[in-house]
Chain A
């Protein structure tokens, strides 16, 4: 049987995207934790261009970039499909996945930016929330994928779990649940799915880590 390895980092939403996809499809894999401040030679060999996690290694061949990995996993193991079969519906799903992918690295910066820069990040968060509320979840759907989660739900995972911890680390509230009722329901539904529920990083641990990182960055700025 082919060997599947996943190089990851304990707090990365991009890594969790792949973990959920593999578990949803029932694919056994070996998980290798990377210390992002001291990346292993193997990781650098498998991902020389970006030097990032996640990296999936299937049969010794590396696949990099979480969305590229998700699509690969979905194609190799077609059970519990993560994308619609119809080409048009798939194009729409891919549009929203790209939207989430483009926003995610920007919104992560909330905890380590200040003043004008932070306000610009808040604006990006609100755009993402509004898009979800007014477009993606329209029609009273339980999940972006309809009755079951799909790759679009997985792509928006930052909103489901990481938004709260980033707000705590930043000391700033961006998400007002009453303003985004569909998103609020979606967050609860998404986190109730067993594979998601039992595979989430510890929030206290992330907040502590982000706060430490914020301190380090502010100290190095003032030096």
Chain B
């Protein structure tokens, strides 16, 4: 049966990027549909009625929502190529823990870095760096969180690298100065075609953030 795969997405979304990378790693052909989040399509509202959010993966007409669930689904269905999760249950649990940690921390802290100023921003920056340092510690000397090859935690986390320049400019700090090993990891990931073609240009993301700040009246 011909596989039909559609991804409803929004270009700067780090969550959408996760699914893009997973699909690319597996060499899956799919239709990318850009959503205007201020004017959501009927398809999006039908496929994700609970959250009305992107990304939505539609496989043979059936929707899978939530980016990490999509990555796990893609990994299971197309299991013959580029496995993202290890087969050992304990290592899988470790991967799920760290992906969950990224989910709980990075987006919210990063948002506070670009949305706030003064003391609130200073606090957000401090917590953001602490979080990155913990992840850097978990990475250790491994080339990837997944070990020798790109894995689940790498896919969960690397999309935020495309937002680092925007965070740095808005927060007036250098992530590389604080977490050089993490930046080395990120650059290593972007050498991979699946990542390079899934992440937008950092300047483009920064311009998008500046537009958002104007729109929300954040100076």
Q: Which A residues are within 8 Å of any B CB, using their own CB?
A: 49, 58, 61, 63-65, 67-69, 71-72, 75-76, 87-88, 90-92, 94-95, 98-99, 131, 135
B92 CB–A CB distance under 8 Å: yes
Give every chain A residue within 8 A of B101 (Cβ-Cβ): 49
A-B contact pairs, 17 of them (CB 8 A): A58-B90, A63-B90, A64-B97, A68-B96, A68-B100, A69-B93, A72-B89, A72-B90, A90-B73, A90-B76, A91-B72, A94-B66, A94-B69, A95-B66, A98-B66, A98-B69, A99-B50
B204 in contact (CB, < 8 A): no
Chain A residues with Cβ below 8 Å from B97 are 63-65, 68
Known A-B contacts A49-B134, A91-B64; the reply to A68 vs B93 at CB < 8 A is yes
Asked if B59 lies at the interface with its beta carbon under 8 angstroms from chain A, I say yes
Contact between chains at B73 and A71 (CB < 8 Å): no
Contact residues in A for B134 (Cβ distance below 8 Å): 49
Whether the pair B69, A76 counts as a contact (CB closer than 8 A) is no
Nearest-CB distance from A170 to chain B (Å)? Answer: 26
Quick check: is B77 within 8 A (CB to CB) of the other chain? yes
Asked whether A76 and B77 contact (CB < 8 A) given A71-B96, A88-B62, A91-B72, the answer is no
Check if B65 is an interface residue, CB within 8 A of chain A.
yes
Chain A residues with CB under 8 A of B89:
72, 75-76
Q: How far, in Å, is A71 (CB) from chain B's closest CB?
A: 7
4 tightest Cβ-Cβ pairs between the two chains A and B:
A75-B89, A72-B93, A87-B76, A91-B73
A-contacting residues, B44-70, CB 8 Å: 50, 59, 62, 64-66, 69-70
Within 8 A of A (CB), among B62-118: 62, 64-66, 69-70, 72-73, 76-77, 89-90, 92-93, 96-97, 100-101
Known contacts A63-B93, A65-B100, A71-B96: A87-B73 contact under CB 8 Å: yes
Residues of A within 8 A of B62 (CB): 88
Contact indicator B93/A91 (Cβ below 8 Å): no
Q: How far is the CB of A78 from chain B (nearest CB, A)?
A: 10
* Residues of B close to A135: CB separation below 8 A: 50
| Complex contacts, A88 vs chain B, CB 8 Å | 59, 62, 64, 73
Q: Measured between alpha carbons, how far is A71 from B77 in the docked complex, in Å?
A: 18
Chain A nearest Cβ from B133, distance in angstroms: 12
Give chain A nearest CB distance to B72 CB in angstroms. Answer: 7
B69 near A91 with CB under 8 A, answer: yes
Q: Which residues of B contact A76 (CB under 8 A)?
A: 89
Q: Which residue from B59, B72, B92 sits with its C-beta under 8 Å from A94?
A: B72
**In the complex where A88-B64, A98-B66, A131-B50 touch, is A61 in contact with B90 (Cβ < 8 A)?**
yes
Given A49-B134, A88-B59, A71 and B93 contact (CB-CB distance below 8 Å): yes
Residues of A within 8 A of B72 (CB): 91, 94
> With contacts A64-B97, A95-B66 known, is A72 near B92, CB below 8 A?
yes
